[in-house]
Amino acid sequence: VYRRGGVVSGTSAGASLIAEWMPTGNGNETVKGLGVLSGSILDQHFFKRNRQDRLRAMVKERKVIGLGIEERAFITVRQGVVTAFE
């Protein structure tokens, strides 16, 4: 859908899946995401679950851009442009 010009979006783990890398929930471990946002990792429930240090460590390890979103937030990606909503 994305490659044909459509919009992709997700909340929580669905938002994390859009990135190139996503957290597994097992410490700082990551797995490959869908790669819609290449060169990135996205962590969800960011402030509520105090994940700032975790994201910082994953960004340092993978050398990618880190994005953190909150529980009621979601992102959309269209033609390489990320928009966040709360």
- Can you give the pLDDT of all 86 residues of the chain as single tens digits? 888 888 888 788 888 998 999 999 898 999 999 998 899 999 999 999 999 999 999 999 999 999 998 888 888 887 778 888 87
Q: What's the pLDDT score for residue 59?
A: 97
Task: Give the phi and the psi of residue 83 in degrees, each rounded to 5.
Answer: -125, 130
Q: What global pTM score does this model have?
A: 0.84
Residue 16 and residue 42 in contact, taking contact as beta carbons nearer than 8 Å: yes
CA 86 vs. chain centroid, Å, equals 15
- Hey, is 62 helix, strand or coil? helix
Q: Are 81 and 7 in contact (CB under 8 A)?
A: no
